[in-house]
Amino acid sequence: MPVLLKYLFFVFVSICFFCSCRQSSVDESASSRLIYNQVGYLSHGPKLALVTHDVDEFVLLNAEGKEVFRATPEAPLYWEASGDTVRKVDFSEWQQAGSYTVQLSGFSKTYEINIGPNPYHEVSKAAIKSFYLNRTSIALEETFAGKWARAAGHPDTVVYIHASAADDKRPEGTVISSPLGWYDAGDYNKYVVNSGITTYTMLRALKDYPLYYAQLDLNIPESGSGIPDILSETLFNLRWVLSMQDPNDGGVYHKLTTKQFEDFVMPNEAVNDRFVVAKGTAATLNYAALTASAFRVLSGYDAQLPGLSDSCLSRAEMAWDWAVRHPDLTYQQPEDIATGAYGDDQLDDEWFWAAAELYLATGNDRYLSVIKEKYHRPLVPTWNQVYALGFFSLIDFYDELPAELTNLSIKEDFLALASELVAVSDSSPYGISIQEFAWGSSSQVANEGMVKLFAHQLTGDAAYLNSAISDLDYVLGRNATGFCFVTGFGHQRVMHIHHRPSGADGIEDPVPGFLVGGPNLAVLTDCGTDVERSPFPAKSYVDLECSYSTNEIAINWNAPLVYLVGGIDALMTR
């Protein structure tokens, strides 16, 4: 073949491939007339699917091709966030487990739906196991990691004090050791503020569903130790967080990081120097809140973990004292550091959370005035909005709280938040309560589900539980993009996550169990100007590695997924 023809052929193939990639990322879901939970529906739970406005009949066929259920979709509803009109199909009435074919009258394409007594059990395990697969400092052995086994990366036994963190006792360049922990997201760094909410949420899951997690075998190195696997996994990160406190004054470093993000290489190939950067009030209060909460949880495991709970409490009090001396030292990114900032200049919620946890841990009245001073009605939790975490913990001991706290309407304000979310979900065309699609929108849905599940535990009201199940439906495929947002699951799977090990390991499948960030309009050019994105926030998503704004993973996104799917599995499995 002449050189020119070879060149033209190569260009043609490349254009076709590029177009197919763009089509897959942008338009594939638009052709689907059924939007549904691709993992499965609970036999004895609510079952909601969506169809496009032009579908008039929804028919379930069993394995033999016999019709077993027929429904007429509800009236069409337009959703501004997605720019489309859908009709709800409620098939909760059909409760027999099995695999079914869905036919939509007037259209030839069919779909497969699963119904079962525990369809989310494997997702629950995978969501926690993803933390193991994102560990630092140790090798992941094939026995536990399967094909995602890899060499150890970032021992973090030689970490330098950055100029921003230096003082007389630990001058710039001092070497400290800060091993263990999880990689925070798609990068190889570790951040205290993000570990605060993440680690608390994991402990919260164990606290709220102890029998369920006591029996959940994750096949991690610590399995069989007599400690629930979820706690063993959480301890791997908690022990790193503990190491981020300066023992000389109690202040806590904001993050452990390289100066620039590493390339897409495997962890053991990412060998640039690492630093602890800048003590700050936000990191220190997150640390105080987390360790005080851990004290209460770990007190039940003193026989297996002697001294750890007491150490957590003493460190929490040291951190609090430092924060009192430095009440508003917000994080400022040094000029030579370009990794995630996690900056937060609104600290009332951190003060409230830390005061609540330390009051519950010690009973010391000095924390009461701060709880009252910083009190604010809770919001859906995020890494920089942690009021709700203090509410979770205070409500645990509501009947034992003094009148000056119960008079704050703690329980009433929390339930008001949960009820508002349910009301929005009930009226939403997509059956969910999310209204703003910020960076990490999938985790917003998961956190809203967590709030609802806790409200259900508090009241027994099925409306909260059913709405939380609807949130899980969204995460597992019943969303405007048509993707199941948890890696390793669904028919339309996410394959090209922004995650360095998944991008560098040569394995086609990404590390499973991760919740990707999901659609938003925060950054439209992270993949360049040639990649098309929907102008509608609920659809603006691409399954491409370059899309850090929609397809990255993060520990604080996975933790509420753990709580949501594990809680539903615990409550609904029969």
- Of 438, 500, 447, 497, the closest CA to residue 475 belongs to 447
Helix pair 121-132, 555-572: axis angle to 10 deg: 150
Mean pLDDT, rounded, for 362-388: 97
Helix pair 281-298, 192-208: axis angle to 10 deg: 20
For residue 185, what pLDDT band results from cuts at 50, 70 and 90? Answer: very high
Mean pLDDT, rounded, for 372-387: 98
pLDDT on residue 573: 85
**Lowest mean pLDDT, pick from 2-6, 110-114, 447-451, 518-522:** 2-6
Mean pLDDT, rounded, for 530-557: 97
CA distance 412 to 419: 10
Q: Is 222 a catalytic residue?
A: no
- Of 254, 275, 272, the closest CA to residue 263 belongs to 272
Q: Is 336 a catalytic residue?
A: no
Give one DSSP letter per residue of 495-525, joined into a string.
Answer: ---B-HHHHHS--SSPPTTPBB----SS-S-
For residue 197, what pLDDT band results from cuts at 50, 70 and 90? Answer: very high
Q: Indicate which residue of 156, 262, 526, 552 is catalytic.
A: 552
For residue 31, what pLDDT band results from cuts at 50, 70 and 90? Answer: low
Cβ proximity of 438 and 444 under 8 Å: yes
User: Does residue 281 sit within a domain?
Assistant: yes
C-alpha distances out from residue 401 to 137, 195, 354, 398, Å:
42, 28, 16, 5
3-state secondary structure of 425: helix
3-state secondary structure of 104: strand
User: Does residue 243 sit within a domain?
Assistant: yes
User: Does residue 168 sit within a domain?
Assistant: yes
Cβ proximity of 519 and 437 under 8 Å: yes
pLDDT on residue 319: 99
Residue for token digits 């970032």? Answer: 154
Kind of pairing between the strands at 175-176 and 159-161: antiparallel
Mean pLDDT, rounded, for 530-554: 97
Give one DSSP letter per residue of 66-121, joined into a string.
Answer: -EEEEE-----EEETTTTEEEEEEE-TT----EEEEEEETT---EEEEEEES-TTH
3-state secondary structure of 229: helix
- Number of helices and strands (H, E) in the chain? 18, 14
Domain that holds residue 277: 144-197+221-287+335-341
CA distance 282 to 248: 19
Please name the amino acid found at residue 250.
Answer: G
Greatest alpha-carbon span in the chain: 88
For residue 7, what pLDDT band results from cuts at 50, 70 and 90? Answer: very low
C-alpha distances out from residue 123 to 59, 165, 287, 295, 415, Å:
27, 40, 29, 29, 28
Mean pLDDT, rounded, for 367-395: 98
CA distance 360 to 393: 8
- List pLDDT tens digits, range 206-250: 999 999 999 999 999 999 999 999 999 999 999 999 999 999 999
User: Does residue 253 sit within a domain?
Assistant: yes
Cβ proximity of 471 and 564 under 8 Å: yes
Q: What is the four-CA torsion angle of 49, 51, 55, 60, rounded to 10 degrees?
A: -30
pLDDT on residue 3: 35
Mean pLDDT, rounded, for 34-53: 98
CA distance 454 to 452: 5
% the chain with pLDDT above 90: 94
CA distance 121 to 114: 14
Q: Which of the two residues, 31 and 153, has the higher pLDDT score?
A: 153
Residue for token digits 């704004």? Answer: 549
User: Does residue 368 sit within a domain?
Assistant: no
pLDDT on residue 109: 94
Q: Which of the two residues, 313 and 24, has the higher pLDDT score?
A: 313
Q: Indicate which residue of 498, 499, 526, 569 is catalytic.
A: 498
User: Does residue 169 sit within a domain?
Assistant: yes
| Residue 450, φ and ψ in degrees, nearest 5 | -65, -45
* β-strand partners of 245: 252
Q: What is the four-CA torsion angle of 174, 178, 183, 184, rounded to 10 degrees?
A: -70
Mean pLDDT, rounded, for 327-341: 98
For residue 14, what pLDDT band results from cuts at 50, 70 and 90? Answer: very low
CA distance 555 to 443: 10
CA distance 417 to 172: 46
Q: Is 187 a catalytic residue?
A: yes
Domain count for the chain: 1
Q: Is 344 a catalytic residue?
A: no
For residue 574, what pLDDT band results from cuts at 50, 70 and 90? Answer: low
Per-residue tokens: 372: 């009252």
User: Does residue 14 sit within a domain?
Assistant: no
C-alpha distances out from residue 531 to 24, 95, 474, 495, 541, Å:
11, 43, 25, 17, 11
> CB under 8 Å to 464, separation ≥6 — which residues?
418, 422, 452, 453, 455, 456
For residue 12, what pLDDT band results from cuts at 50, 70 and 90? Answer: very low
CA distance 70 to 102: 10
> CB under 8 Å to 474, separation ≥6 — which residues?
430, 431, 432, 434, 445
**Lowest mean pLDDT, pick from 10-24, 123-137, 385-399, 521-535:** 10-24
Burial grade of 114 (CB within 10 A; 0-12, 13-18, 19 or more): middle
pLDDT on residue 17: 36
HSE value, Cβ hemisphere, 13 Å, CA-based, for 451: 30
User: Does residue 275 sit within a domain?
Assistant: yes
CA distance 359 to 449: 27
Q: Indicate which residue of 184, 187, 229, 262 is catalytic.
A: 187
- Of 22, 79, 25, the closest CA to residue 52 belongs to 79
- Of 486, 472, 463, the closest CA to residue 568 belongs to 472
Please name the amino acid found at residue 282.
Answer: A
